[in-house]
């Protein structure tokens, strides 16, 4: 483990620690009044971070090359867990006892990364549409569809973006991507018609984009996001002093944690959070570039992309640039499954970065 630490890109750990630290402060502030026990969410998050650290250490110590073998096992396990949600779970949560819940869709993201990295790492002369592209896309499509039907459209959107990204940088011919997109598009377009809340969010977002749209045209959640972020100013209202967070901000400790950060930490903190994710993206890219194999490179890029794209999705919702999706801010928002899986993935990134040096 010490060898891995010595050769790993330690900036990954620094960035992660900065994110977790900021997130913990925001959860303390946001969760203080949400539960009769003021420290409930803080302590739980601290516990999750502890578990996440263990998972990160495991991820960092296990040679990432091992993931290329038996990729079907985690895939099947992930599919079973997603299916179990429909039978035993509540929306996208699966009870695991002791008041804890598991979110299988978080694991599914990691499965997609490993699965696609593995398949796209082969050097092939030509990629056959029916032989290669269709099975890959079908395999990922099943996981995405199961997540979407939970219904968890936000995570499904992240998974779709991740799939498209990995296929795109895996050098899949663009023509191969057009046909499945053409098939999937009507399904995606029809979603709002079957799920009124999705339609409502899209309509509200569209209305807010209209020229001359004022505060009164904003949907309830959008307005609260805007009030919280706008109230922050350059330096913020101060730690624990946010009134929108305290009063009306929905899911302040999960989906809206970025708004809490900006309200209490101001523009400086908000920009710092964006920069931290950008830094993670660049660190991941550096790790990928110096990875000694294509699988490692794809894995590193996939891990970083899934974290960054989810973060950007969350931030864009808070800034009124995208309809409300319900995705959390990775490493900041409260939630055990997300923290443990994300930190495990970052552990894998550390392992990839460590092997780069070893090979030199």
Whose Cβ is closer to other proteins: residue 5's or residue 322's?
322
Q: 3-class DSSP state for residue 158?
A: helix
- Provide the minimum distance between the beta carbon of 62 and other proteins in the complex, in angstroms, as a whole number: 25
Whose Cβ is closer to other proteins: residue 3's or residue 206's?
206
Do the Cβ atoms of 330 and 281 come closer than 8 Å? no
Whose Cβ is closer to other proteins: residue 62's or residue 308's?
308
User: What is the DSSP track for 127-164?
Assistant: --IIIIIHHHHHHHHHHHHHHHTTT-HHHHHHHHHHHH
Query: How many other CB atoms are found less than 10 A from the CB of residue 144?
Result: 22
User: What is the DSSP track for 174-234?
Assistant: HHHHHHHHHHHHHHHHHHHHH-HHHHHHHHHHHHHHSTT--GGGS-HHHHHHHHHHHHHTT
- Tokens found for residue 112: 């997609």
For residues 218 and 195, give the distance between their C-alpha atoms in angstroms, rounded to a whole number. Answer: 20
- Provide the minimum distance between the beta carbon of 4 and other proteins in the complex, in angstroms, as a whole number: 26
- Tokens found for residue 12: 């990954």
Whose Cβ is closer to other proteins: residue 308's or residue 357's?
308
Whose Cβ is closer to other proteins: residue 186's or residue 212's?
212
For residues 344 and 337, give the distance between their C-alpha atoms in angstroms, rounded to a whole number. Answer: 11
Do the Cβ atoms of 225 and 320 come closer than 8 Å? yes
- Tokens found for residue 71: 């990729």
**Residues near other proteins (CB under 8 A):** 33, 165, 168-171, 215, 226-234, 243-244, 246-248, 250, 262, 266-267, 270-271, 274-275, 277-278, 281, 285, 288, 301, 305, 308-309, 312, 315-316, 319-321
- Provide the minimum distance between the beta carbon of 328 and other proteins in the complex, in angstroms, as a whole number: 17
- Provide the minimum distance between the beta carbon of 263 and other proteins in the complex, in angstroms, as a whole number: 9
- Tokens found for residue 113: 């990364």
- Provide the minimum distance between the beta carbon of 244 and other proteins in the complex, in angstroms, as a whole number: 5
Q: 3-class DSSP state for residue 332?
A: coil
Whose Cβ is closer to other proteins: residue 104's or residue 266's?
266
Whose Cβ is closer to other proteins: residue 13's or residue 177's?
177
- Provide the minimum distance between the beta carbon of 23 and other proteins in the complex, in angstroms, as a whole number: 18
Do the Cβ atoms of 238 and 266 come closer than 8 Å? no
- Provide the minimum distance between the beta carbon of 105 and other proteins in the complex, in angstroms, as a whole number: 23
């Amino acid at each position: 483990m010490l060898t891995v630490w010595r050769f790993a890109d330690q900036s990954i750990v620094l960035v992660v620690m900065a994110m977790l630290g900021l997130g913990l402060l925001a959860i303390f502030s946001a969760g203080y009044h949400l539960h009769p026990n003021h420290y409930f969410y803080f302590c739980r998050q601290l516990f999750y971070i502890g578990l996440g650290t263990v998972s990160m250490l495991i991820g960092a110590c296990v040679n990432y090359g091992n993931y290329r073998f038996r990729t079907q096992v985690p895939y099947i396990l992930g599919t079973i867990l997603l299916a179990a949600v429909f039978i035993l779970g509540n929306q996208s949560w699966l009870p695991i006892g002791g008041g804890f819940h598991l979110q299988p869709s978080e694991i599914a993201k990691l499965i997609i990364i490993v699965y696609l990295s593995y398949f796209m790492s082969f050097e092939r002369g030509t990629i056959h549409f029916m032989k290669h592209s269709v099975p890959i896309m079908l395999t990922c499509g099943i996981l995405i569809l199961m997540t979407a039907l939970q219904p968890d459209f936000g995570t499904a959107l992240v998974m779709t973006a991740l799939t498209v990204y990995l296929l795109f940088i895996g050098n899949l011919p663009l023509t191969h991507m057009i046909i499945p997109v053409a098939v999937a598009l009507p399904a995606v377009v029809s979603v709002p018609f079957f799920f009124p809340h999705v339609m409502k969010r899209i309509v509200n977002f569209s209305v807010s984009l209209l020229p001359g749209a004022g505060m009164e045209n904003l949907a309830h959640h959008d307005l609260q996001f805007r009030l919280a972020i706008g109230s922050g100013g350059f330096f913020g209202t101060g730690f624990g002093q946010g009134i929108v967070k305290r009063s009306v901000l929905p899911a302040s400790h999960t989906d809206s944690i970025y708004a809490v950060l900006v309200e209490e930490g101001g523009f400086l903190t908000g920009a710092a959070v964006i920069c931290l994710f950008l830094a993670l993206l660049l660190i991941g890219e550096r790790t990928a570039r110096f990875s000694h194999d294509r699988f490692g490179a794809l894995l590193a890029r996939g891990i970083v992309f899934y974290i960054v794209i989810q973060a950007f999705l969350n931030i864009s919702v808070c800034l009124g640039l995208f309809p409300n999706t319900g995705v959390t801010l990775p490493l900041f928002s409260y939630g055990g499954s997300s923290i443990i899986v994300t930190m495990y993935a970052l552990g894998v990134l550390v392992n990839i970065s460590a092997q780069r040096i070893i090979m030199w």
